[in-house]
Amino acid sequence: MVQGCTIFSKVDLKSGYHQIEMTEEIVYKTAFKTRYGTYEYLVMLFGLCNAPDTFQTEMHRIFRPYLDKFIVVYLDDILVFSKTTREHVEHLTLVLQSLRDSQYKINKEKSSFGIPSVIYLGHVISGDGLAPEAAKIVAIQEWSQPQTVRDVRSFLGLASYYRKFVRNFSAMAAPLANLTKKDTLFLWSLHCQMAFAQLKQASTRAPVLKLPDPSLPFVLTTDASQYGIGAVLQQNDGNGLRPVEYMSKKIKTQKLQDSTYEKKLYALVSALKHWKHFLLGRHFKIFSDHSTLQWLKSQGELNDKLARYIQFIDMFDFELKHKKGCYNKVVDALSRRPDSFALISSTHSFGEEYCRTIARLLPQDETFGPIVRNLQANPNSEPGYSLSSDLLYTYNRGEERLCIPQDQRLRTLLMSECHDARGHFGFLKSYAALSQRFFWKEMRSEMLRYVDTCELCQGNKVQRKPPLGLLKPLPIPDGPPQSVSIDFTDLGKTTPCGMRQVMVYVDRFSKCAEFILLPEVARVPAVRTAFSERWVTHHGPPTSIVNDRDPKFCSEEWQSYCKEYLHYRLDMTSGHHPEANGLAEVMNQVLFQLLRPVISPDQQDWDLHLARAQLMYNMFVHSSTGFSPYRLYWEREPHQPLDDVIDKAKPDLTPDTAEFARRYHLDVERARANLFKAQEVMIEQANRQRRPSPIRTGDHVWVASSELSREEDISPQLLPRYLGPWQVLDTVGADAFGSSYVIDVPLHLRTYPVLHASKLLPFTPADAFPDRPPQFGPPIPGKGYDVEWIEDVAYRIGADQNKNRPFNTKYKIAQRKT
């Protein structure tokens, strides 16, 4: 009905009920008394038992010719939908004319016309599909923890309205649903808290459901187990199977003893009943992980229940296929586990020493001392508290918890048992384990600080926040050829001439590129010669070169050549941060894109096409400048074969004339303006996924383990995600709060100490918990030796800018003979 529509209008009637006149015979039933006399309603008012039915019937009468064709009506909310703008104008004209003929007035402020998406009955309808309304999701997110059964019912009522968007809804809501059972004690347990949080989280990740398309076949997938059933209805619109709606529910108690076959059949029947309006009268496919369902229509003897199931199933035209459970990913998790989740807990018991400590500190505690003294004088003086064996207990929502006095060492020990000894889970699980057993004021905030300052969690857990460091691109040059980006790319295939690499030069202003062939092993002299002959000779030395930290560029020979012979500034990127030299990195991708369509199947002739690839790239307009690189660099467009076809005239300006120089200067200024605009767009888009870096000189940070060297027999998947913490020695760049920093990385890790903020994680010290048990993470990767002395330095390759830091140095280790 709405599938395929891309333009919508929503019409709201102004005080819709009041626009319907009541018959004179029943007016007296609306009488109400005031101090000024008795009054009666002449029009239909809100609150009458038959008012909704009467109004809905009236709307159906007015729009009967158009219902479900391009209009749906729910009371005074009218939705008009069309596939094209022209159709929509026609449809909207018919709707408004019908309202005018029946003398109904609309509310202009609440109506919307000709929009691509519309909020209707708590859902967002658009050409992409169906999504929940954002305001309702925010309401779910901000819902406070229920305190009564009525609160739970209210929350489940709102969340259930969007259950068709949430896979595994019944599984998530099972602990909360159990609280609403009759004659059940309201006890907010860990399972309830987890379910409450999971439902909130799931509501924010609700997918956009595909609007059902009658022209496409449906695919139904079902499953069932001892605890529940689940199903999903899908359609393939050319982009793979997309969910139309999810369905799940718990199996009734009387069905728990049924066989697996009967439960699978019950899941199928329940799904067919739920989506009968979609599936009846059309052919569709059903997937189930129980193979015997394929023969359900060929069975001999059937009991009454199975006979009723099969009689109902016979109404549908479908093809049932078996799907292994390991591939049946869309089933409800409720069908895979019981609703009673076992809590993994340690067997640590509170020793008598700790109990004596608590009993000794309680009377002196500022918070619990007065309560203990009152209970000692009168056991009924403090409701919600009790005293047993000199220990104070509090009762809240049916839970008994031990009160812990103000003793940091004792409280730290309890938090360690609930976090460190239980798998280092997040705050929610750790706090739930703690709050089930103990109580003190500010317990929640202390537990949050404890988890945030856990060194093992900081170094091992995945960071879900955007990376640090806002994009700060290099300044745009004034013109060509002032600044050049250089990079190497390995083609992965050695040609018969022995060539395997390409050295890419890109002028950062005009985007003019040159591709230079290099052998598989190209040392610094060969690179220096190629750069001098292919770039410096034809274009002159640039004022700056941007390159990464390839060993060739880090060598003293290359740096001496650049500074003493060419006299230009060498801008090197931070370690393992290719984004800093993004222009050259993108050019590497362009090179592969140009070569793939033209090389032979054996890939050995790619070097023969390199010159053509360079020409093809340079003579086409670049999106950043608005000019071709060839024109900006050589002050003219290259001659192309198509120019002869159209008899293109020769340039009307002669080089080296004043008018030629003026026009070229205008082109450069236009290109520079375009570069600034492109850079602004790039900064805006990139910084949407980043956040400012709070790191300052003197701070301690974690460094991503992927940036550090490791042994070959070490699995990177099992390494800590971050190593450290190490001190920030300095910032890099003109900005005092720049995005690259000098880190005091240990010498034996052999890494360049300048790292971008995206590779760092601020360290949160645990100074607030001095009694915290020691946390020993895994050692930093690298083989260790019991060294008694260093006999000799085997060899040393180069050095970085910090002369005290060895670069790729090997030592000969000697052991003393006894």
Summarize pLDDT for 168-183 with one digit per residue, the tens. 677 677 788 888 887 7
Judge if 513 and 592 occupy the same domain.
yes
pLDDT surpasses 70 at 127: yes
Quote the pLDDT of residue 794: 40
| CATH code of 542's domain | 3.30.420.10
User: Poorest-confidence range of 265-274, 377-386, 645-654?
Assistant: 645-654
Greater pLDDT, 228 or 159: 159
Residue 580: closest CA among 571, 590, 569, 592: 571
Residue recorded with tokens 């890939």: 603
223 or 499, higher pLDDT = 499
Alpha carbons 181 and 498: distance in angstroms, whole number: 78
Examine the pLDDT at 417 and tell me if it is beyond 70: yes
Query: DSSP E strands: which ranges in 251-376?
Result: 283-288, 317-322
The per-residue pLDDT for 444 is 92
Residue 759: count other Cβ atoms within 10 Å of its Cβ.
25
In a shared domain, residues 334 and 364: no
- Please calculate the CA angle 206-209-212 and round it to the nearest 5 degrees: 160
- Tracing tokens 């064709």 back to the chain, one arrives at 69
Q: pLDDT (tens digit, 9 = 90+) per residue, 524-541?
A: 888 888 888 888 887 778
Q: What tens digit of pLDDT does each residue of 59-72 get?
A: 888 888 888 788 88
In this structure, which long-range contacts are made by residues 706-712, counting pairs with CB atoms below 8 Å and at least 24 apart in sequence? 706/576, 706/759, 707/575, 707/576, 707/751, 707/755, 707/759, 708/745, 708/749, 708/751, 708/780, 708/781, 709/749, 709/750, 709/751, 709/781, 709/782, 710/781, 710/782, 711/781, 711/782, 711/783
Q: Decide: 505 and 534 in contact? Cβ < 8 Å.
A: yes
Question: What's the confidence (pLDDT) of residue 653?
Answer: 55
Indicate the pLDDT class of residue 440, thresholds 50, 70 and 90.
Answer: very high
Q: Note whether residue 106 is domain-resident.
A: yes
pLDDT of residue 448: 92
What pLDDT does residue 341 have?
27
Q: How many CB atoms lie within 10 A of CB 165?
A: 22
- Is position 148 within any domain? yes
Q: Could you give the 3-state DSSP secondary structure of residue 231?
A: strand
**Contact in structure between 176 and 138 (CB atoms under 8 Å):** no
CA distance 65 to 91: 12
The neighbouring-strand residues paired with 817 are none
- Judged by DSSP in three states, 121 sits in coil
User: Could you tell me which residues come within 8 angstroms of residue 570 by beta carbon, excluding any fewer than 6 positions away?
Assistant: 544, 545, 547, 553, 559, 562, 563
Q: Is residue 652 part of a domain?
A: yes
Tell whether the model's pLDDT for residue 652 goes beyond 60: no
- Tell me the residue ranges of DSSP E strands in 671-753: 700-704, 722-732, 740-743
CATH number of the domain residue 45 falls in: 3.30.70.270
Among residues 20, 169, 164, the alpha carbon closest in space to that of 104 is found at 20
How far is Cα 306 from Cα 94, in angstroms, rounded to an integer?
51
Classify residue 644: in a domain, yes or no.
yes
Question: What is the model's pLDDT at position 776?
Answer: 52
Same domain for 371 and 334, yes or no, is: no
Supply 682's token pair: 């790039």
Place 556 in a pLDDT band, splitting at 50, 70 and 90: confident
User: Nearest CA to 7 among 79, 70, 123, 88?
Assistant: 88
What is the predicted pLDDT for the residue at 572?
66
* 807 closest CA partner among 561, 558, 554, 562: 554
Query: Over the stretch 235-250, which tens digit does the pLDDT of each residue have?
Result: 887 777 777 877 777 7
User: Domain check: are 170 and 308 in the same one?
Assistant: yes
CA distance 473 to 581: 9
pLDDT of residue 335: 44
Please say if the pLDDT value at position 813 is more than 70: no
**pLDDT, tens digit, 9 for 90 and up, residues 327-380:** 444 444 334 433 322 222 233 344 566 788 888 899 999 999 999 998 888 888
Q: Are residues 492 and 422 in the same domain?
A: no
Q: List the structure tokens of 664.
A: 């070229």
Looking at residue 604, its pLDDT comes to: 84
Residue 503 shares a structural domain with residue 629: yes
Residue 113 belongs to domain spanning: 7-132
Give residue-wise pLDDT tens across range 84-102. Answer: 888 888 888 888 888 888 8
CB 347 within 8 A of CB 321: no
Q: Check residue 398 and give its pLDDT.
A: 65
pLDDT in tens, 726-775: 899 888 865 544 578 888 887 767 677 888 888 888 998 887 787 776 66
Which residues lie below 8 Å from residue 552, measured CB to CB, with a gap of 6+? 488, 522, 523, 524, 527, 558
Question: How is residue 533 annotated by DSSP?
Answer: I
CB 418 within 8 A of CB 434: yes
Could you read off the pLDDT of 199-245 as tens digits, one per residue?
887 776 666 677 777 788 888 888 776 557 778 888 887 777 777 87
Question: How far is residue 485's CA from residue 498's CA, in Å, rounded to a whole number?
Answer: 25
Same domain, residue pair 302 and 237? yes
**512 part of a folded domain:** yes
Q: What's the pLDDT tens digit per position in 596-630? A: 888 888 888 888 888 888 888 888 888 888 888 88
Query: Which of the four pLDDT bands, split at 50, 70 and 90, describes residue 289?
Result: low
Same domain, 334 and 189: yes
Residue 783: the pLDDT is: 43
By percentage, how much of the chain surpasses pLDDT 90? 2
Q: Does residue 244 sit in the same domain as residue 268?
A: yes
Residue 107 sits in the same domain as residue 56? yes
Average pLDDT over residues 8-35: 84
Between 476 and 716, the more confident residue is 476
Average pLDDT over residues 3-31: 83
| DSSP assigned state of 382 | S
In a domain, 475, yes or no: no
**Domain co-membership, 120 together with 33:** yes
Tokens encoding 674 = 């375009």
**Where a domain ends, among 317, 342, 367?**
342
**Phi, psi (deg, nearest 5) at residue 260:** -60, -40
pLDDT (0 to 100) of residue 405 = 92
796 pLDDT higher than 50: no
The answer to the question of residue 680 being in a domain is no
- Mean pLDDT in residue range 802-815: 41
Does residue 814 lie within any of the structural domains?
Answer: no
d(C-alpha 610, C-alpha 501), whole Å: 11
CB-based contact 30:22 (threshold 8 Å): yes
Last residue of a domain, one of 638, 659, 680: 659
Four-point Cα dihedral 796, 800, 804, 806, nearest 10: -30
* Distance separating alpha carbons of residues 689 and 667, to the nearest angstrom: 34
Query: How many domains would you assign to the chain?
Result: 5
Residue 637 in this model has a pLDDT that exceeds 80 = no
Are 316 and 375 contained in the same domain?
Answer: no
**Mean pLDDT for all residues in the chain:** 77
Q: What is the pLDDT of residue 445?
A: 92
Whether 799 has a pLDDT exceeding 60, the answer reads no
